[in-house]
Structure 1
Amino acid sequence: MRTTSVEGRVKRFFAGAMAACVLAGAGVSVQAQTTPVPTLTVPDFTEVVAQSEGSVVNIRTTESIPVRSQMGPGTDPYELFRWFFGPDFVPPGRGGPPGAPAPDGAQPQERTVPRGVGSGFIISEDGYILTNTHVVAGASDIHVTFTDGQEYEAEVIGTDARTDVALIKIDAKNLKPLPIGTSTTLKKGQWVLAIGSPFGLESTVTSGIVSAINRDTGDYLPFIQTDVAVNPGNSGGPLLNLGGEVVGINSQIVSRSGGFMGISLAIPIDEAMRVVEQLKEHGKVTRGRIGVQIGPVSEEVAKAIGLDSAKGAMVSHVQRGGPADKAGVQAGDVITDFNGEPILQWSDLPRIVGGTKPDTRATMKVWRKGKEVSLRVRVGEFETDDAATPSESGSQAEEMATNALGLGVQSVPAEILESENLKQGVMVTAAKGPAAMAGIAPGDIILTVNETDITNPEQFAKTVAGLDTSETAALLVYREGQTQWVVVTPTK
């Protein structure tokens, strides 16, 4: 029975299928809808490489080091005697003890050793080559080799350690420079390729995409991040777009092993060429400065001080007598624009100011107490400044009762106001509850609460008493030469 029943179901299935076929034959048809699949093409780099690799060079550096006597084969046979008779032992026929001045006409013994390998590329017909500072720094001799085997000695025209850009030159004519593009139009996902000498393997080509732009690593420049395979020896080589234009100089890798791990960083070519202009003309780079210490603006602080977004550079300290001080910049200001260029993130400011010629009169917009203020500043020349260090404070017993912020304060000694270039404020003597949780500690100086400048303990108490306990308060706090906004939630 079970078999017969199964056979019946099979017959009925085929009968239904035949009926469907008859209907289809009668003119009833079903057409499957298909979506066209786009044709994906992988870029062909062969033409770019053929046009570019002849302008990319291998850079080999050497260093001269003094010859030092060592015990072992091939060393001075009389060295052993000095172990017994002292360092002043003079072998027969020798001119003097070790370390004595060489006889007239004799030169101190030195030997030349390999120092490093890097890359570079031609930027002018008359032999100027662009590379990294760390490729040529400390080298006694620089050897430049082309893909056809021609080798030249190069001289350093100038280096800039801050951007890691170096300009060198060889004695050659009618060279083919690489076309210089722009890095300002780069986009994430764009194809790029590198040519260089990783581990000394000359004229090696690797490709990838732009992973990120304006990558802030704490250095002076925002880098181009790519996944192009770059290894030691690629430094100084070009990063090219599909048009064969240079958009960056391969400079660094992010790695835990010392080799490529998927992240490489390149110097934007626009920034590098600005450096090249000064190196070619002066052999060094002169940068502008305004004399401020800065930091980022957090979302919480931006909201508390009325900024529409977390942008700009927060001024934490103003150098006394510096350009910014003379222009009226105050600690706690947020610089949002410098000479017409918006400061989107705090690291933009050093780059923009540094690229401004010293003695230039520039406009500057700062956010202060809920409104934008325009200032004029005369840009100075960059120099290394020591951060201001506060004096040790004397003790005063003028402490106010702890308030809704959890703070006890006193007047700031006059000598501290003078030494730290402060105009007003109150010194914290006790920090409890919300203030302690926010990181405020005794010895800190409160300069501003929200938009109110604090001048004395009594005024501070009135200001805090009038705070809305349902909203956070922004306190401008000075500590050890630095000023920053701290957000504190008052207790009810």
Structure 2
Amino acid sequence: MFKKISYSSILILFFFVSCSSLPGPFEKDALSEMEIEEILKEKNLETIHSLIDEGAPSKALQYILSAPEDQSEYEDVRSLYPLALSKMEESYRQALEEKDYRKAISIYDSFKAIGEDSYIDEVSLKELSFKYVLSLFDQGEDGAAVAVFYNYLDFDDLDEESLVELEQKLIKAEIRGPLQNLFDYYVKKSMNADPQTIRFLSGKPNFQDMTAGTVTVWVNRGIRIENGIGFPDRGIGSGFFIDARGHILTNYHVISSEVDPEYEGYSRLFIKLSDDSEERIPAKVIGWDKELDVALIKCEVDPQYIFSFARDYDPAPGDKIYAIGSPGGLKNTLTSGSVSTLNRQLQSIGDTLQIDVPINPGNSGGPLLHPSGDVIGLVFAGIEQFEGVNFAIPVSDVKDILADLYTGGEVIHSWLGAALFERSGKLEVLYVTPGSPARQIGLKQGDVIESVDGKKYQKITELQRFFLKKDTGTLVRIEWMTGEGNRSAVASLDQRPENPMKEALDRDAFDNLLVPLFGMDAERVRGTGNKNVLYNLLKVYPGTTADEAGLAAGDSVLLRKWENPEKSNILLMQILMKSRKAGFIESAVQIGTYLNKGFFI
């Protein structure tokens, strides 16, 4: 199976297609959509009390900490602060007692964000993280344990006793990469490794050995009828083992029919091992992430080889790389090439690697390898009409969500609810989603993000990776600059929608969406509703759809109509434009933009 990408970012079209009805303006009708200011003005203590009582003290604290300290009318709101802290501390103690270290880390981060270190001073974040790693090993989630260790810890963070404990876990898990890293650390520190470690590492695997750790992912979708004739409907992809219990990584789009609620047909998942056997072994989906196009599946086999993730690899154009997969069902196919470029933004979260390794239908989900054999990416897509233009998901993003995949079900991401624009090393706010934490703390278009939890960010994808590691409900401190000065607030992260731009279409008026959709800030001159509306452009952001269409500040645009074709991921807008760049000659065009935007955090 192969995910085809349309590489054009702009659609300038001169035809129309049938479309769904236009949503009306957004109306707040639920507690979650109430702005903080509305709650505080109403002094809705019952609302805040209910959040505390129902186990959401972090959301309550977001409201409480937004109450102005210099206004006595909010004193009753601020008086709830100790109660909310007490409830959060209670949840923290319970998480520690139940060894739910992931939840404990989330609450730990929340206390840090609001400066209440006294509630967590008996244990460090490093200690909590190591307990989390050990608990994952104990649950048999070895791949997740290694990923969490790589994300949060270093060997220098552990004392000798903890290093030995980690070594024993890795020996049992038979995961070569981190064990080799630990052995190298021992050599550097003149420490002695366990003899089992030395024996395990004595044999160096080659790429032939590694093929034994790959599988062909085979999805049987029954019979497809075309023109009255039935054809077998089969999906083929690749995958690779990441632990001794038979967990396999692949792409979501390879196995989507197994879990997609909109798919109503027959679907059965199997894998074929790399040996000569054609036996189809039943497999099941454990967890999946639509946005990153990653899935974790499992089968009841003993892997002959277990792949390791690269720890600190920073890819660079020209780096030699390899891929193993089953193009066209031809298993054990090893191809090689190089990294073409970095930071291609093809998904709504994170960057992708562009590679020139030969990739064909059936390669999707296979490992992209460093010459050392460590996994540096997950092959996922290509442009069929352009040979040698293919893409892979960086292993850093995969490691960020691996614990979520092991947990099972669809991965839930957290978000702040703001769309950003990179400008001269700064992150400018393009748009704020109604009802989101960003809207509730007062972020507005044109504001500039200064820091998140005390750290400065220059790239959207870096900030997205920060949120990939955070659970919903975690408190984070946001500092930003407005036209009136610096501001700071604490936000409780919400669940990220599957498609933030589509969510905004359902929630907000179209005028407010012109900036995130097309990159043009406009004021309505005349007209009502969403048809035959005249706009004056106040600003056009460089590199956006409006900019590429030749529009600029000062131009006039008459919106004839806009459409979101049913079941599509594009939005089309028919306009009459008088562009200064075109000598103010009136032109009738239809421009389009993808809704799968990659600038939301």
TM-score normalized by the length of structure 2: 0.47
Check 1:430–1:386 CA distance in 2 against 1; reply closer, same or farther (3 A cut). Answer: closer
User: CA separation in 1, counterparts of 2:312 and 2:366?
Assistant: 15
Q: What corresponds to 2:161 in structure 1?
A: none
C-alpha displacement of 1:135: 1.1
Cα 1:136/1:174, change in 2 over 3 Å? closer
With over 3 angstroms needed to count, the CA separation of the structure-2 counterparts of 1:275 and 1:326, relative to structure 1, is: same
* Secondary structure in 2 matching 1:352: helix
CA contact 1:311–1:346 (8 Å) conserved in 2 = no
Gaps (5+ residues) in structure 1?
A: 1-45, 72-110, 298-309, 394-408, 417-427, 445-492
Partner of 1:292: 418
Is 2:328 aligned against 1:210?
no
Q: Deviations over 1:125-144 (max 9, x none)?
A: 01000000111121512221
Shift of residue 264 of structure 1? 1.7
Q: Which secondary structure state, in structure 1, belongs to the residue aligned with residue 379 of structure 2?
A: strand
Kindly state the Cα deviation for residue 180 of structure 1 after the two structures are TM-superposed. Answer: 1.6
Q: Is the 8 A contact 2:292 2:349 kept in 1?
A: yes
Tell me what 1:144 maps to.
271
Gapped regions of structure 2 (runs ≥ 5): 1-203, 259-266, 513-522, 541-550, 560-601
Q: Using the alignment, how far apart are the partners of 1:324 and 1:275 within structure 2? A: 23
Of the three residues 244, 247, 251, the one matched with 1:125 is 244
Work out whether 1:162 is the aligned partner of 2:297.
no
User: SS state of the match for residue 273, structure 1?
Assistant: helix
Amino acid at match of 1:113: P
Displacement of 1:253 in angstroms is 1.3
- Preserved CA contact (<8 Å) 1:224 1:265: yes
1:62·1:116 contact (CA, 8 Å) conserved in 2? yes
Aligned to 1:283: 409
Change (3 A) 1:411 1:376: farther
Aligned equivalents of 1:118 and 1:328: distance in 2?
A: 45
Change (3 A) 1:200 1:439: farther
2:409 counterpart letter in structure 1 = G
> What is the distance in 2 between the residues matched to 1:430 and 1:236?
47
Matched letter for residue 279 of structure 1: L
> Which residues of 2 match residues 249-288 of structure 1 at below 5 A?
249-256=378-385, 261-288=387-414
Q: How many residues align?
A: 315
Tell me the C-alpha RMSD between the 2 structures: 3.7
Matches within 5 A, 1:411-422: none
Q: CA deviation at 1:335?
A: 2.1
Specify which structure has the bigger relative contact order, considering alpha-carbon pairs within 8 angstroms and separated by 6 or more residues: 2
Distance 2:481 2:304 in 1: 51
Distance in 2, matches of 1:237 and 1:439, equals 50
- In the TM superposition, residue 321 of structure 1 has moved relative to its aligned partner by 3.9
Is the 8 Å Cα contact of residues 182 and 246 (structure 1) preserved in structure 2? Answer: no
Contact 1:338 1:352 in 2 (8 A): no
> Does structure 1 residue 232 correspond to structure 2 residue 390?
no
The Cα of 1:323 is off from its aligned counterpart by 1.0
Instruction: Report 1:59-78 matches (<5 A).
Output: 59-65=217-223
Q: Identity of paired residues, percent?
A: 28
Q: Distance in 1 between matches of 2:463 and 2:504?
A: 19
> 2: CA distance between counterparts of 1:67 and 1:255?
25
Give the drift of 1:371. 5.9
Query: Following TM superposition, by how much is the alpha carbon of 1:287 offset from its aligned partner in structure 2, in angstroms?
Result: 1.0
Structure 1 pair 364–431 and aligned structure 2 pair: CA distance change class (3 A): closer
Question: Which whole-Å CA distance do the structure 1 matches of 2:552 and 2:268 have between them?
Answer: 58
> TM-score normalised to the size of structure 1?
0.56
SS at match of 1:353: helix
Report deviation, 1:158: 1.9
Query: In the TM superposition, what whole-angstrom CA distance separates every residue of 1:171-192 from its partner, at most 9, and x where no partner exists?
Result: 1236431112136522332211
Within a 5 Å distance, the mapping from 1:52-201 to structure 2 comes to 52-65=210-223, 113-138=232-257, 140-150=267-277, 151=279, 152-173=281-302, 175-182=304-311, 184-201=313-330
Counterpart of 2:467 (choices 331, 335, 353) is 353
Change (3 A) 1:365 1:175: farther
Query: Which residue of 246, 249, 263 corresponds with 2:375?
Result: 246
Separation (CA, whole Å) in 2 of partners of 1:195 and 1:391: 46
> Which shifted more, 334-343 or 49-58?
334-343
1:325 aligns with 2:444: no
Residue type of the alignment partner of 1:149: D
Assess, with a 3 A threshold, how the Cα gap between structure 1 residues 320 and 118 changes in structure 2: closer, same or farther.
Answer: closer
> Alpha-carbon deviation of 1:119?
0.6
* 1:368 corresponds to: 482
Shift of 1:376: 2.2
Any residues of structure 2 matched to 1:296-315 within 5 Å, and which? 296-297=422-423, 310-315=424-429
Tell me the equivalent position of 1:78: none
Q: SS state of the match for residue 52, structure 1? A: helix
Structure 2 CA distance for partners of 1:175 and 1:372, relative to 1, 3 Å:
farther
Change beyond 3 A, Cα 1:277–1:431: closer
Q: How far apart are residue 266 of structure 1 and its match?
A: 0.8
Q: Distance in 1 between matches of 2:437 and 2:399?
A: 27
Aligned-partner Cα distance in 2 for 1:292–1:173: 45
The amino acid across from 1:157 in the alignment is: I
Change (3 A) 1:239 1:392: closer
Cα displacement (A) at 1:438: 1.7
Tell whether the 8 Å contact from 1:183 to 1:247 is kept in structure 2 after alignment: no
Query: Aligned partners of 1:239, 1:252: CA distance in 2, in Å?
Result: 12
**CA distance, structure 2, for counterparts of residue 235 and residue 266 of structure 1:** 9
Shift of 1:347: 4.4
* Contact 2:525–2:535 (Cα < 8 Å) also in 1: no
Mean CA deviation greater in 52-61 or 337-346:
337-346
* Structure 1 counterpart of 2:451: 337
| Alpha-carbon contact 2:213-2:303 (below 8 Å) kept | no
What's the offset of the Cα at 1:70?
5.2
- Which residue number in structure 2 is paired with residue 48 of structure 1? 206
For 1:410 and 1:200, locate their aligned partners in 2 and report how far apart those are by CA, in whole Å: 55
User: 1:365–1:48: structure 2 CA closer, same or farther, 3 Å change rule?
Assistant: farther
Please tell me whether the aligned partners of residues 183 and 248 of structure 1 are also in contact (alpha carbons under 8 angstroms).
no
- Higher-Rg structure is 1
Measured at CA, do residues 443 and 389 of structure 1 come closer, stay the same or move farther in structure 2, by a change above 3 Å? farther
